[in-house]
Structure 1
Amino acid sequence: MTEAKIGPAKLVLVRHGETEGNVAKLLDTKVPGLPLTERGAAQAKLFGETLLNPPRVLFCSTALRARQTAGYIEAATGVPTTVLDNLQEVQAGDLEGKHSEEAHLFFQRIYRAWHNGDLDERIPGGESGRDVLARFLPVIEELRETYLTPGSSEGDVLLVNHGAAMRLVSRYLADVLPPFTTNNHLDNTETIELVPLPDGSWDCIRWGRFTPPFGYDVAPTSDDPMG
């Protein structure tokens, strides 16, 4: 691992490596979920090996794919993984296990509504946007209070989790607006990077391959809806 000068500590949300569900374009959200593919394992290993500095702490959701991804990062950095509750993917309810274009478009319609402020829209048998934020945000705030004092340079907090959930959370934490947030999906092991500000808010400095300002116009896609 090549060490670089350490800047302000960030919360780095990392999407897990590729899974069998991603390849089959399944709405795979229940815990424990499907495992990483060989390619997903290679992605996770490469991510850990190419970090410029080891994280201060490393966390992951309870889903198998997140635990496996974090395990490869742990092996590369020597930083032990802690598994946290309430960070699972958006729960797809009656759409679980489906892969049709109709199911993808239905999920995306509700998901886009959340990003546009209608957090009470609910996936049948699953979660509303408000449900997702209600379980996820308290974990983020606890990590902030414990490890991310504004201006601290003690190292980043890495949190391996899930594409749809982390995009929704980041949209509201850092006020990054749709349609950027809905149309710019995250590839496996891509990151959203958030810097804590003194007023209690967050500044998003990376969203996948993009950096601010976040005005990139990318057409929406129904592929890999969890990305």
Structure 2
Amino acid sequence: MREGMEMNSMRESGKQPDKLSLPHRVRGQAFPLGMALLLFGSLSGFVLYNTIQTASDKTRLANTADAAAYSGLQWQARALNFQAYTNRAMVANQVSIAQGVSLASWSKYGVVTVANISTVLSWVPVLNGILEGVETAVRAVDQVLTPIANSMVNVVDKVNKGLSIAQESMYYGSFAATPSIVDTVVSETDPRFETSSAYNLYGVASNLGRWESFTSGFDDEDLPAMIERQNMINHSLDEFSRSRNWDFFDFW
């Protein structure tokens, strides 16, 4: 009865039984922290972008420098190839002179030989007529070969002088054109880059020293060089020009 009366009195008075208390949520300012994180992310992205751009520019600059150096050296290599080919051409021309002189000498040797045989065998009735015909034919061949050999010497000598002048022109012209080729390659690869004038002058001077030390020229008054050239030409001669004999086709 008492408990019922107490409950009724509590209801009548409007009092409620105590509830379990819940913990309060933590409250604070999140905006400054978010701004700091956003600023840090932006700075990191900016630094990363600049790093990538710098690395890309360095790579492009290195590729441009390599392309310019390769183009200049390739041009000079072609000039050296031209000198090598023209040297071989001049040696071949000298060999052709030796062949012409050998043919002329061989024809004169044939004229003298046939004339001596004809003189010795002139008393033979039938053979002397044959030998006279052979002598006439050999003299005709000699009259053709001798002017050709003489003119060949003059023509080939002028051709070799022309090749020598072409070598000199190519030698100095290719060196003078190298800086222009390097500048053109740099500007065509990336217009942002350009060659430095001071460094360009230093590079030209350094390249000139190496260019002149790599090759050397000589003239007719350089006796050791002419002896070396003579030996090279002699080693390039064919068997007939070396011996000038009567052996033909390995069976005569």
Same fold per TM (> 0.5)?
Answer: no
Comparing both structures, which one devotes a greater share of its residues to helix?
A: 2
Comparing both structures, which one devotes a greater share of its residues to strand?
A: 1
Higher radius of gyration, 1 or 2: 2
TM-score (norm 2): 0.18
TM-score (norm 1): 0.20
